[in-house]
Amino acid sequence: MPNHVRLLIEMQDDPVSRIMQRVLTSYSQYHNRKHTRIGHLFQGRYKSILRQTDR
């Protein structure tokens, strides 16, 4: 699949969230420069809906 990436990361000092932040920030800057765009590349990527119970 050309639209997926799998990473095998060996952690040392930084938590996974910090590593992923750096990777995704670097990639989005590269992508925006390549395609002469501005703004968030991953905007709207994750979605969360608050659901109320039916009691």
Contact yes or no for 32/41 (Cβ under 8 A) = yes
Asked if the model's pLDDT at residue 54 lies above 90, the reply is no
Query: CA separation (Å) from 24 to 8, 20, 55?
Result: 15, 6, 41
Contact yes or no for 51/41 (Cβ under 8 A) = no
Q: What is the pLDDT at residue 35?
A: 92
pLDDT band of 52, cuts 50, 70, 90 = confident
Structure token digits, residue 6: 């799998």
Task: Please write the tens of the pLDDT for every residue from 5-41.
Answer: 777 777 788 887 788 888 888 988 999 999 998 888 7
Structure token digits, residue 7: 């990473």
Asked if the model's pLDDT at residue 46 lies above 60, the reply is no
The more confidently predicted of residues 31 and 52 is: 31
